[in-house]
Amino acid sequence: MNHKELIVKLAERNNLSKPEIENLIDMTTMIIKEQLLDGKIIGIQSFGSFEVRKKEERLSVHPATQIRTLVPPKLVVNFKQSTILKEKLNEIKL
C-alpha cells in the first residue's frame, strides 16, 4: 500500500475528504519524526514501538573486490512489533 492508497482507504472508512485525511497523515508523521529526533520512543498500542538506535562504526568488505571500507556510525529507526500484532501475523497460513 502506498501513500495515495492509504488516503483513499481512510477517506472511505471515515467519511472524510481526501485532503483532510492527507493533512491528518502529514501531521501524524511530522509529530512522530519530531519525537524520534528528540530521542523519545513512540508506542502505538497493539501495533508496536519505534525508537532511534545508534549503529556503531564497522568494517565492511565488498564481496567482489574484497576492498575494506569503514562504515561510519549512524542513527537508525528500529521497530519492535507488539505481541498482539505478532500473534495476528502468526495466525496467517503460509
pLDDT in tens, 5-47: 999 999 999 999 999 999 999 999 999 999 999 999 999 999 9
Supply the pLDDT for residue 72: 97
Count the alpha carbons within 13 Å of 85 in the hemisphere toward its beta carbon.
11
Q: 86 with 47: CB under 8 angstroms?
A: no
> Cα Rg for the chain, rounded, in angstroms?
19
- Average pLDDT over the chain, rounded to an integer: 94
Domain chopping of the chain, boundaries: 1-40, 51-94
User: What is the reported pTM?
Assistant: 0.76
For 1-94, strand residue ranges (E) read: 42-44, 48-55, 58-61, 68-71, 74-81
Residue 3 and residue 29 in contact, taking contact as beta carbons nearer than 8 Å = no
